Every structure is written in structure tokens, then in C-alpha cells.
């Protein structure tokens, strides 16, 4: 068993863009773009965790690993934990939770996260990038992270807050990238905690960790993988991927 595992939680029932994991981008389902990026990072075994048989069939048809999970999970991390616990027997030391709606994630960003996590400096590590425009800063669909300093390529800094709506201060704010690495101990601790007040209010599960004094570090990447939440996001990411594949 590899010490590192990447688990991609994915489901069809998204309210803003139903069936989004199966949306085609360059004649390939979105979930397959994410799966291939995870595989190309060469970081460890990759699994898709989903309650939907259609997603399982697509992934397995293309040679991937997919696990049927409960329909009752409240968060993607709960879904990740089910695979870690029931299928992998809690054996991996580092668990990556990679969102299934980031089809243009850079494989090198994934491997960067794993490398830092192997230094055992925190409970959870995630990534962030610069905002490309003022419009992004104001977009409530884009999650922002505040850190305790200026983030640069070679730094990992402490996360202070995560939020969706615009804040008055713009100091040390970055575009959060929805990928997390946990130590096995941190993941086990996290799923045992009750959902927190801010987690529920802001619909951001990482706040449960912060509100329970778990340490989250944030690393910087130059790229801004697009999290697909709306039809407009889907159109944009199609353009980005088509452009990359032409180059």
C-alpha cells in the first residue's frame, strides 16, 4: 500500500450545476480530467469516491478506481474518510482530498502539496494563488483565504480565515484552491468533530478545522485552477483547457 492516496469526492447532485462531473470538456467527462491530473502527479494511488453509479461506470470504463459511497454524507471529506477507513483500512499516512470539479488542476500542484505534507509541519495543507482580477475578489463563488504574511512560491503560511464574500481588508488575501492534504491522524480527528458554526454559515468545511485549533498551512501556486460551479465556469474552463491542449 502506498503511503499517499488521492481521493476525489464526486457526486451528481450539485444544486448550481447538476451532473457536472459528467459534463464533457474536449469530449472527455470532467471527472476524468481530474482523475488523469491526479494520476499524472505520480503521488500515489487515486480513487474516486461517489454515491453515483454513473460516475463509477465512467471511471472504471477508463481504467480508473472508483468506490461506491454512502448517500448520507454531509461533506466531501466525510466521503473521503469512508474510502480511507473502509477500503484502505486507514493505512495511508497522507490523504489528499482533491475536488472533482477542477478539471484544469496542474499535476505539479498536487505533487507540491504532497512534498510539503511529508515534512510533518501541520495537520492540513492546502493551496492558493493570486487573484487575476478585482472581479474574482468580489465573486462569492470563489473562496478566499487569509494567511499570516505575503505568500510566495517557496512559502507555506498559516491560514487565518476562509470566506466567500468580500472583506474590507485586502491584505494577505488569496484565491483558495480546493485541494487538501491531511495526515491520517488529522483526518481521523476531523471527521469526529461536530460541524462548526462558521462551517455551516459559510458552507466551507475547512472552517471546522480552524475553529477546533487544527493547523492549516497554505502554499502558493502560479496557476489558478477553475472550480466549476456554474454554466459560466464550465464555458470558461473549456476555453482554458482547449487553449492548453493546443499549445
- Compute CA 174 distance to the chain's CA centroid, rounded to the nearest angstrom: 15
- Name which of 204, 239, 219, 237 is nearest 174 in CA terms: 219
- Name which of 150, 92, 155, 159 is nearest 124 in CA terms: 159
Per-residue pLDDT tens over the stretch 96-119: 999 999 999 999 999 999 999 988
Write down the pTM of the prediction: 0.93
**pLDDT value at 1 more than 50:** no
Cell of 46: 487515486
- Compute CA 209 distance to the chain's CA centroid, rounded to the nearest angstrom: 15
**pLDDT value at 53 more than 90:** yes
Q: Spelled out in words, what is the top-level CATH class assigned to the domain 4-246?
A: alpha beta
| Lowest pLDDT segment from 42-51, 60-69, 151-160 | 151-160
Boundaries of every domain in the chain:
4-246
Helix axes 30-40, 107-117, angle to 10 degrees: 50
Q: What percent of the chain has pLDDT over 90?
A: 72
Amino acid at each position: 500500500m502506498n503511503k499517499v492516496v488521492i481521493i476525489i469526492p464526486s457526486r451528481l447532485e450539485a444544486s448550481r450545476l447538476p451532473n457536472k462531473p459528467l459534463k464533457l470538456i474536449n469530449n472527455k467527462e470532467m471527472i476524468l480530467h481530474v482523475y488523469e491530473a491526479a494520476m499524472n502527479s505520480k503521488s500515489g494511488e487515486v480513487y474516486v469516491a461517489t454515491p453515483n453509479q454513473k460516475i463509477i461506470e465512467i471511471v472504471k470504463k477508463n481504467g480508473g478506481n472508483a468506490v461506491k459511497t454512502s448517500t448520507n454524507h454531509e461533506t466531501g471529506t466525510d466521503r473521503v474518510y469512508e474510502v480511507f477507513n473502509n477500503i484502505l483500512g486507514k493505512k495511508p499516512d497522507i490523504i489528499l482530498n482533491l475536488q472533482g470539479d477542477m478539471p484544469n488542476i496542474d499535476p505539479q500542484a498536487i505533487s507540491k502539496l504532497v512534498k510539503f505534507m511529508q515534512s510533518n509541519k501541520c495537520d492540513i495543507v492546502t493551496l492558493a494563488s493570486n487573484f487575476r482580477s478585482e472581479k474574482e475578489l468580489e465573486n462569492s463563488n470563489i473562496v478566499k483565504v487569509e494567511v499570516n504574511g505575503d505568500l510566495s512560491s517557496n512559502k507555506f503560511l498559516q491560514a487565518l480565515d476562509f470566506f466567500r464574500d468580500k472583506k474590507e481588508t485586502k491584505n494577505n488575501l488569496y484565491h483558495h484552491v480546493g485541494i487538501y492534504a491531511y495526515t491520517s491522524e488529522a483526518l481521523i480527528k476531523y471527521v469526529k468533530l461536530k460541524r462548526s458554526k462558521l462551517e455551516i454559515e459559510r458552507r466551507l468545511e475547512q472552517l471546522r478545522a480552524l475553529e477546533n485549533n487544527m493547523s492549516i498551512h497554505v502554499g502558493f501556486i502560479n496557476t489558478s485552477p477553475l472550480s466549476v460551479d456554474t454554466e459560466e465556469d464550465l464555458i470558461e474552463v473549456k476555453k482554458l483547457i482547449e487553449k492548453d491542449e493546443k499549445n
